[in-house]
A and B are shown apart, each in its own frame.
Chain A
Amino acid sequence: MINTLQHHMSIVPSRDEKSRQEFVSSLRGHILVNMATSMQHRYTDIVSPKFQITHGRLPKSGGEVHQEMKSDLYFKFYSSIRYNAQEMVWRSVIPMVDRNLDDMVSQAAGLRADQSAVQGSLTLQPDLPIPKNVSKVDVHLAPGSYHSEYVADDIAAGAIYDNGLSIFSANLMGQNLDDIGGSMANYIRLKYPDFHPEKILDCGCTIGHNSAPWAKIFPQSEVHAIDVSAPALRYGSARAQSQAVPIHFKQMNATCLAYDDNSFDVVFTSMFLHELPLKDIQAFFKEAYRVLKPGGLLLNMELPPNDQMAAYDSFYLDWDCFYNNEPFYKTFRDQSYPKLCTDAGFHKDNFLQLTTPQYGYMSEAEFITSIQQDSQIDDKTGRLTEGIQWFGFGAWKGENING
């Protein structure tokens, strides 16, 4: 059963809508667990031995695996069904959002206006150009992408994202889709107990679902969250207010931050970089370096890099680049992550790479035991399946506070 979102912007689906959503979620579970396992066996037992006979070696890269798998019947079915399931994720929630849109717009405006309990804020910049990687690409096959507006004061794109991600994640991203932020923030709290961030910035926050854990875990801090999408920010601001989490949402492009130099202790992103063209990733890293205080931390929760993965695992993760309308995904994963940091000004010795289990799915003692071990990338790192590990990387600015 899909977890119900626990905030006041959540929608009650009709019985048939709920049935369809649970069907799509179960279908995705079947694809990502059962079919993914069968496909890997297919590769190991049939496809790679054939390649070895022809080439005298096994495939060396994800690209070579992809070329061989394209003609495999199981891969064709896996891909066709997974592509359709992605479309069905959105189609299972859009009519529900459409039906409730007028009420949700009013409700969101009311929540944002009510500052009695929480002192969050929303600052929009209507003349901000929407970058082409959002405006020209319906990212994740989401109709209208993440920025389109259909009514005044619109929140539809945010509501569709929230409800769609709830179906997509098959309960693997936490009750309010906040396990990535929660796991990363708790990792920093527990691994670096002397680090007490006062100002935190989440870039490419969409609806702020992974910004909220930072505000909860570091309650003394001031949390800012930026995105280019006005409807996502309007919705995210109301969502945060309804959860009594103070966050300052601003419409802003991460490649050009309207913040002073040396003003943040943490700059955070989650599942953001792989949606950007390389030049924008590089520009963002320079901006992150600029706005971080000395001793501050840039931390990106992301997909692991291809240069640290087995060929099959690289192929498996890069599927989204070719078939899920995420054209910059593989280019990002082909980069040297340490070099992205050093090119922006970070010292090479201050590079940080980590993997964490899911904080929300275990006791804190188990989490602590896990993060005390060396960071190891395996076939469940970054892969939405049972036993997933989140991956993160970044760098400390200036002197490494970890010594």
Chain B
Amino acid sequence: MADLPLSSNAKRPKFFDGDASDIHTSMLLEIMAELWTVKERLYVLEEVLSNEDDLIKNRVEAYTLSDTQQADLEARRAGFIGNVMRSLEDSTTSGNS
């Protein structure tokens, strides 16, 4: 491991008044990413467990999703993002803000 840097040298812009909203947005998106990885692993676990229960970890890692399952996950992911963003759409696109 070379410990490659994970952050750029750019000064992070502030889009909102005050600091809190920019920080909260970053936190929300990182939580969404983490939650999605958990949701996907759970999805695969359920598929694996429905068949057998030995060497679960290796089987989950190696499990290949079918095209149908991939499409199902893609639709779930789009729905997941749409649900989280729903309040933003509702509150700002109707001219309330």
Which residues of chain A (51-76) have a CB below 8 Å from chain B? 73-76
Q: Chain A at the B interface: mostly helix, strand, loop or mixed?
A: helix
Closest A residue, CB atoms, query B71: A1
Give the residues in chain A near B15, CB-CB below 8 Å.
75-77, 79-80, 83
CB distance from B58 to the nearest CB of A (A): 11
Cβ of A20 and Cβ of B1 under 8 Å apart?
no
- Determine if B55 is an interface residue (Cβ-Cβ < 8 Å): no
CB distance from B1 to the nearest CB of A (A): 5
Cβ of B22 and Cβ of A19 under 8 Å apart?
no
Q: Interface segment, A86-94, A209-217, A263-271?
A: A86-94
Cβ of B60 and Cβ of A30 under 8 Å apart?
no
Most B CB contacts (10 A, CB to CB) among A19, A76, A92, A101 go to A19
- Determine if A323 is an interface residue (Cβ-Cβ < 8 Å): yes
Cβ of A26 and Cβ of B1 under 8 Å apart?
no
Cβ of B26 and Cβ of A84 under 8 Å apart?
yes
Known: A1-B74, A38-B93. A20 touches B37 (CB 8 A): yes
CA separation between A333 and B75, bound complex, in Å? 37
Cβ of B36 and Cβ of A41 under 8 Å apart?
no
Residue-wise interface mask of A (33-45) relative to B, using a CB-CB cutoff of 8 A (1 in contact, 0 not): 0110010011001
Chain B contact residue count (CB 8 A cutoff): 43
Known: A14-B61, A156-B2. A88 touches B33 (CB 8 A): yes
Residue-wise interface mask of B (85-97) relative to A, using a CB-CB cutoff of 8 A (1 in contact, 0 not): 1001101110101
CA separation between A1 and B9, bound complex, in Å? 31
Give the residues in chain B near A323, CB-CB below 8 Å.
13
Chain A contact residue count (CB 8 A cutoff): 57
- Determine if B19 is an interface residue (Cβ-Cβ < 8 Å): no
Which residues of chain B (40-94) have a CB below 8 Å from chain A? 40-41, 44, 60-61, 70, 74, 77-78, 81-82, 85, 88-89, 91-93
CA separation between A45 and B33, bound complex, in Å? 32
Residue-wise interface mask of A (79-108) relative to B, using a CB-CB cutoff of 8 A (1 in contact, 0 not): 111011101101110110111010000000
Cβ of A16 and Cβ of B78 under 8 Å apart?
no
CB distance from B43 to the nearest CB of A (A): 10
Q: Interface segment, A110-118, A141-149, A305-313?
A: A141-149
CA separation between A19 and B32, bound complex, in Å? 11
- Determine if A280 is an interface residue (Cβ-Cβ < 8 Å): no
Which residues of chain B (11-45) have a CB below 8 Å from chain A? 12-13, 15-16, 21-22, 25-26, 29-30, 32-33, 36-37, 40-41, 44
Q: Chain B at the A interface: mostly helix, strand, loop or mixed?
A: helix
Closest A residue, CB atoms, query B97: A73
Cβ of B2 and Cβ of A151 under 8 Å apart?
yes
Give the residues in chain B near A80, CB-CB below 8 Å.
15-16, 21-22, 25-26
Known: A16-B37, A30-B78, A84-B29. A42 touches B13 (CB 8 A): no
- Determine if A320 is an interface residue (Cβ-Cβ < 8 Å): no
Closest B residue, CB atoms, query A100: B1
- Determine if A247 is an interface residue (Cβ-Cβ < 8 Å): no
Give the residues in chain B near A98, CB-CB below 8 Å.
1-4
Cβ of B88 and Cβ of A74 under 8 Å apart?
yes
> Which of A14, A26, A85, A325 has a CB less than 8 Å from the CB of B10?
A325
- Determine if A201 is an interface residue (Cβ-Cβ < 8 Å): no
Cβ of B61 and Cβ of A85 under 8 Å apart?
no
CA separation between A138 and B60, bound complex, in Å? 37
CA separation between A81 and B27, bound complex, in Å? 11
Which residues of chain A (1-55) have a CB below 8 Å from chain B? 1, 14-16, 19-20, 22-24, 26-27, 29-30, 34-35, 38, 41-42, 45-46
- The chain A residues found within 8 Å of chain B, CB to CB, are 1, 14-16, 19-20, 22-24, 26-27, 29-30, 34-35, 38, 41-42, 45-46, 73-77, 79-81, 83-85, 87-88, 90-92, 94-95, 97-99, 101, 137-138, 141-144, 148, 150-151, 154, 156, 160, 322-323, 325
Since A22-B74, A73-B97, A156-B2 are in contact, a sample of 12 more A-B pairs with Cβ atoms closer than 8 Å, ordered by chain A residue number, is A24-B33, A26-B78, A27-B33, A30-B78, A42-B92, A76-B15, A77-B25, A79-B15, A87-B7, A94-B4, A144-B8, A325-B8
17 contacts between A and B (CB under 8 A): A15-B61, A16-B37, A23-B37, A27-B29, A27-B32, A30-B81, A38-B92, A73-B92, A98-B3, A101-B4, A137-B9, A138-B9, A143-B7, A143-B9, A150-B2, A151-B2, A156-B2
